[in-house]
Amino acid sequence: MLKVKFNYNINKDAWSWVAIAKDKNLWGLNWKNEIAYIPKELLSKILKSSFSRAVKITENYIENNPKRTYKEILIKSEIDSLKKTWGTIEEKYFKILAVITQKPIFSENFGCFLTTGFMCPYNQKDNWFMISVWHSLPFSITTICHEIMHLQFLHDYKNYLEKKGLKNNQIEDLKESLTFLLNEPEFEEIILSEDIGYPEHIKLRKKLKSIWLKDKNFQNLIDRAILAIKKSYSQPRNEPAFIKKEKKKKAKEGKRSGEKK
């Protein structure tokens, strides 16, 4: 019996659309590109509504989409392929993850839901995550490994990191950056599609890798990462070019607005 259970749920799909639409802080990714699949009229309603109301609006849109039946056929086919492929590596993946983190796998059940959005959010409280129907099978396998590593890490270390003084955004940076481990030799028999990470985490991922290679001790990696993150946050951080461009654009619009007044 597989630990990862694959499924599709319209409500969760709608939730993922709204979660990404309402969060423009995507660690250096271009928000407009990531929500390009959402029609402008629907996006406007999402942004103007409360989160729960936006989910209902989006769910209604997905349910009444003329391509819904066709998409459901593709989703079912995708789920069948994922079950078959993941089933061949799941045991090996969890074994490697437990050895690397020096912790037992905390759950016997992980929910994996497909989304028709581009990004793949997760829900730590209910222990499930998402993968996109638009991604290739090798990419989705990497995403599964990536998201489970998040859930395992947060279960084992979130309280520890908070006690050590890390703020939530710092914990998030560490969580995302630690997936560099999926590109290491330990996972080479499983990962076919490289775990790239986010633009804002490039330097931290490199730093963590250099720490890891010293002794490949996960607890040491975490403790040294805490110091590295605190140090990095005390220094100015570079913004992606597209964010700087947006700020300049808004500044100009503000000036024009002021002139009209």
pLDDT digits over 104-125, tens only?
999 999 999 999 999 999 999 9
In a domain, 97, yes or no: yes
* Enclosing H/E stretch for 111: strand 110-115
Instruction: Confirm whether 204 is domain-assigned.
Output: yes
Task: Give the integer Cα–Cα distance in Å for 88 and 40.
Answer: 41
> Is 244 inside a domain boundary?
no
Give CA–CA dist 215/188, Å, rounded: 19
Assess if residue 186 is contained within a domain.
yes
Tell me: pLDDT of 213 over 50.
Answer: yes
Instruction: Please tell me the total number of residues recorded for the chain in this structure.
Output: 261
Please give the residue that has the higher pLDDT: either 26 or 22: 22
**pLDDT value at position 83?**
97
Across the range 77-94, mean pLDDT stands at 98
27 vs 52: which has the higher pLDDT: 52
pLDDT at 56 over 80: yes
Please count the structural domains in the chain: 1
Residue with tokens 């009444």: 64
Q: What is the pLDDT of residues 241-251, one digit of tens each?
A: 444 454 455 44
* Residue 213 burial (CB count, 10 A): 10
| 131: its two tokens | 């993968």
Residue 208 pLDDT > 60, yes or no? yes
Specify whether the CB–CB gap between 151 and 129 falls below 8 A. yes
Q: What is the pLDDT of residue 245?
A: 52
Residue 234 has pLDDT above 90, yes or no: no
pLDDT at 256 over 50: no
Establish if 253 belongs to a structural domain.
Answer: no
99: β partners = none
Q: pLDDT tens digits, residue range 161-177?
A: 999 999 999 999 999 99
Name the least confident of 2-6, 42-46, 230-234, 251-255: 251-255
Average pLDDT over residues 77-99: 98
Averaged pLDDT, 24-52: 92
> What is the structure's pLDDT at 238?
53
Domain containing residue 28:
4-233
In this structure, are residues 63 and 10 in contact, taking their beta carbons and an 8 Å threshold? yes
pLDDT at 240 over 50: no
d(CA 136, CA 181): 21
Please provide the average confidence, as pLDDT, over all residues in the chain. 91
Strands 122-123 and 128-132, how do they pair? antiparallel
Distance between CA atoms of 119 and 129, rounded to whole angstroms?
Answer: 11
Is residue 218 within 8 Å of 96, Cβ to Cβ?
Answer: no
> Is position 52 within any domain?
yes
Q: What is the pLDDT of residue 236?
A: 55
| Lowest mean pLDDT across 17-26, 176-185, 207-216, 240-249 | 240-249
In a domain, 170, yes or no: yes
- Report how far residue 88's alpha carbon sits from residue 110's, in angstroms, rounded to the nearest whole number: 16
Please report the pLDDT score of residue 24 as a whole number: 85
Structure tokens at 114: 């497909």
State percent of the chain over pLDDT 70.
90
In a domain, 254, yes or no: no
How many Cβ atoms sit within 10 Å of the Cβ of residue 227? 11
